[in-house]
Structure 1
């Protein structure tokens, strides 16, 4: 099989032309007279409807009982005049002027939480891993402590921060640690030293 260059091939003259039959031109379309008549009829009917309802709002057809009443003379008022000021109906303003509000202020001792918070950021088998976590926390400007705890499976070294007086302080420091990539911190109640 030989390779042919179809891109640079010149058209052949006089050889087989297309075998397609030339289609006959479609017959010229007639103007849709029926559609025009229907459209004119609909537009004319709509215009007549609008003309007939135009004067219906000004009809003075009143019931017989109302016709017997004498009509009030029409007074030409200034169209730019404002209506009279409405009469004030509210009484709460006078009630509030003589009202006293009593507020109970809690004592400072009662406002403090009975159990302050702490945050635990890790629990490790080896002391070196706990020291490494403590160093990463120190680079964030926070101070952590390591506590050795005996568990059912052996000794554990817990890295924790705290105590904190409010949960808001704990959340603020947890967000600082999350920005540094330390995501495993949990908030607990302070267990004491």
Structure 2
């Protein structure tokens, strides 16, 4: 017996072929997905409806606007000969149409200044510190002297003991005292108070 070994398939390959054929036969057929097709058809139809609406609206708006075909007659414009313009010449001065400038120039303003609450002849003093020890008061007096102002150290006795006050003044007006206080504040002392001179 002669066997044809060349055309013979191995047993394992033959079994593998049979199993692959059987799986191909038993595999279910793929169905086309319906949802994407429905979505695409819906989009195309809505786009077509939108185009139809746009086309209808333009026709209806054209119908509302009456179109009149008037013959246009073109007449030649006659140019008047003008003198050559100087490129450095200034344009004419515009005329003013405003009247409020004249009204403001001729208007008088009266201001009533009440004298109540204003002390005309009073002098002011500024106290920048009050210390128990005279040395501390003299240190503040020296700091104020470096700022260009002259201070005094006053000793006062009261019910709560002896105090040394650092006082500046007298100032002729409260405005002068305020200027002095701003100068001292720029130097770093923020404890000054302004009072009437006593």
State the structure with more CA Rg.
2
Q: 1 or 2, which has the higher helix percentage?
A: 2
Q: Taking structure 2 as the reference length, what is the TM-score of the superposition?
A: 0.49
